[in-house]
Amino acid sequence: MSREERVARNEALFREVNERIKQVNESLEPGSESEFLCECGDPDCTTAISLTLAEYEGVRKVATHFAVLPGHSDPSVDQVIARNDRFVVVEKTEPEAAKVTVREDPRS
């Protein structure tokens, strides 16, 4: 397995955990922030990111998009496409990584 595939698999795993977190928090007031896991490719990163459910849904609309902490993107596989003070949204641009993230998408 290539490094890019390994990174993508780690990110897909964190995304799957975040799907469960979203389900648990669906009863929150609209606009309330919830703690999600950083979806970066670092297998040792378990840092929380605050997103509203609407923000999380915005990221999840595209299978190759992930929410990560500022500074946690990997330019060899990611392109930052949006940012704010709490998180950045990255898109998988490396072809093998993109394939893995689409294949591993729990919503597909």
How is the chain split into domains, by residue range?
Answer: 3-103
Write down the mean pLDDT value for the chain. 90
Give CA–CA dist 22/80, Å, rounded: 23
Q: pLDDT tens for residues 37-84?
A: 999 988 899 999 999 999 999 999 999 999 999 999 999 889 999 999
Give CA–CA dist 87/40, Å, rounded: 11
Is the Cβ–Cβ distance between 12 and 100 less than 8 Å?
yes
pTM of the model: 0.85
